[in-house]
Amino acid sequence: MIYFTEKQKFKQWWLWLILVLPFTGILFSILQNGASTGDIKELAIGILIVTIIALTILSLNLRTEITEKGIAYKFSFFHSKFHLMEWENIADCFVREYKPIWEYGGWGLRYSFRNGKAFNTMGNQGLQIILKNGDKILIGTQQADELRKLIGELKKQHLIRSNPA
């Protein structure tokens, strides 16, 4: 049984601005100065590289599922299948506000010696998971209120302990 599912993508306006600027610069250069055959090859390579980067970012998504077995996540491009953290291996989990840049160095697949792993695409709300072995994993969410309510219910059902090990 699936209690919760969420699929997120990178949607920050500034990220897309960074990707559009090279296209704009290349087109402006061609329109202003014209281009020789050699320049066109270099420009085509530049456009190809930016296009590949943009398509890669467009294809990235973070999926989270909470089931009767545990909490699973999959960050496309980095993971080919879901990674399941079974309830018996989870000491605690809770929804919290975090500072992506300060705590993890930004968005995406991140690691901090102090805070553990983070998987996030945008925002500053996440599901903090503390495993019994001491590992910490934060999974970003855009549905913090719904997730907070579900985690509270699962704790009442004793699937999740209330205090870290």
Same domain, 67 and 113: yes
Same domain, 101 and 143: yes
How many other β-carbons are positioned within 10 Å of the β-carbon of residue 95? 20
Same domain, 148 and 78: yes
Rounded to the nearest integer, the mean pLDDT of the chain is: 84
Q: What is the pTM of this model?
A: 0.74
- State the residue range of the domain holding 22: 9-59
With respect to residue 104, please indicate whether it lies within any of the assigned structural domains. yes
- pLDDT reading at 65 higher than 70: yes
The amino acid at residue 62 is: L
Q: Worst-scoring range by mean pLDDT, 20-29, 68-77, 90-99?
A: 20-29
Mean pLDDT computed over 114-136:
94
pLDDT at res. 165: 47
Q: How many domains, the chain?
A: 2
Instruction: Tell me the H-state helices in the chain.
Output: 13-33, 37-59, 144-156
Q: Are 124 and 154 in contact (CB under 8 A)?
A: no
Strand pairing category for 70-75 and 62-67: antiparallel
Same domain, 69 and 138: yes
Last residue of a domain, one of 59, 79, 94: 59
How many other β-carbons are positioned within 10 Å of the β-carbon of residue 55? 10
Mean pLDDT computed over 135-143:
96
